[in-house]
Amino acid sequence: FLNEEIKNILYNFICNLEDSNEKKIGTFEELTVREREVLDLICEGFRTKEIADKLFISTHTVETHRRKIMLKLDVRNSSMLVKFAVDNHLVN
């Protein structure tokens, strides 16, 4: 037997688990300043090496930023990333 309070706690816990399993699309606000800079340069057509040189970071760091951006915005590849950014007015 569960009292009403325990039943509500259990119900809320189960509902929160289901909500957390749903796929959530990130927002532009979740991106760091540097990730936004990298996204802008990707959308301008710069290659990884060019972005690295322009921002004075390593190519590995650029790839890490790209990977994190793609995870946050829930896209699978760079083409989808550019399309998402343009469609959602994330870049000029």
pLDDT in tens, 62-83: 999 999 999 999 899 999 999 9
Residue 10 is assigned to a structural domain of this protein: no
d(CA 87, CA 23): 20
Top pLDDT among 71 and 7 is at 71
Is the torsion defined by CA of 39, 37, 40, 55 positive or negative? negative
Residue 29 is assigned to a structural domain of this protein: no
Residue 54 is assigned to a structural domain of this protein: yes
Range 37-45 average pLDDT? 96
Q: What is the predicted pLDDT for the residue at 91?
A: 84
d(CA 87, CA 10): 41
What 8-state DSSP symbol labels residue 22?
A: S
Q: Residue 40 sits in a domain of what CATH number? A: 1.10.10.10
pTM of the model: 0.70
Range 20-25 average pLDDT? 46
Range 86-91 average pLDDT? 87
